Amino acid sequence: MGKLIGLTGGIGAGKSTVAELLAEKGASIIDADRIAHEIYEPGKEGYDRIVDHFGTGVLDEQGRVDRQKLGALVFDDREKLEELNRIIHPLVLKEVAERVAAVTADDPEQPIVIEAALMTETGWSGGAGELWVVITDPDLAVERLVQSRQMTPEEARLRMAAQTSNDERRSTATRVIENNGTIEDLELEVSLAWREMMGD
């Protein structure tokens, strides 16, 4: 099997940008967060289980899962959040494993990046060959979220506070990608990490 990287980072850290840079270098990207969104779609097992567990109050007028309603329900309730994670995470892990197997079947040496926001929290580090963590200074992350997602600083800090801390992420990482500078700085750091991993 080719090189396998688990890629994670907090909100506003630049994880998706790092994934794009790795894709440009030839890696196959499996976006676990996008898979999680797909699992919420009507007709999927995740959709049925969420409606069974949380009720139709989390649906919008079209009968789809309203992620804002669901988020509001679980955001301040750790028990409900854990219940949601117990429904979603195994389904995401199963789909990720199937996609990894499909890529490997086509090319056993193909480098694969599994991109996921909650990799540290859900213990994915053991499943990936390497765990790359994108770290950004919290004040800079807030600034980015205000600019790119039109959040208020308070909303951004609330979202960040609900996630794993940078120190916790560092403690599980195989490699830390610091993203406190320009895009050129980030490109340089990702290129160096890629060359080292590939043995170039």
Token pair 């060959």 is found at 129
Q: pTM score, two decimals?
A: 0.86
Q: What is the pLDDT of residue 180?
A: 95
Fold of the domain spanning 1-27+111-200: Rossmann fold (3.40.50)
**Can you say how many angstroms the Cα of residue 144 is from the centroid of all Cα atoms in its chain?**
17
Q: Do domains 1-27+111-200 and 34-108 have the same CATH topology?
A: yes
Assess contact for 63 and 69: CB atoms under 8 A. no
**What integer pLDDT is reported at residue 118 of this predicted model?**
75
Q: Which H/E stretch holds residue 175?
A: strand 175-178
Compute the radius of gyration of the chain from its Cα atoms: 18
Q: How do residues 157-172 score in pLDDT, each as one tens digit? A: 988 887 888 999 899 8
What are the pLDDT digits (tens) for 115-125? 998 776 666 65
pLDDT digits (tens, 9 = 90+) for 60-80: 999 999 988 998 888 778 899
Residue 138 CA to residue 73 CA, distance in Å, equals 26
Residue ranges covered by each domain of the chain: 1-27+111-200, 34-108
- CB crowding 96-126: b at 16 or more within 10 Å, else e: beebbeebbeeeeebbbbbbbbbbbbbebbe
Domain 34-108 grouped into CATH 3.40.50.300: yes
Type of residue found at 200? D
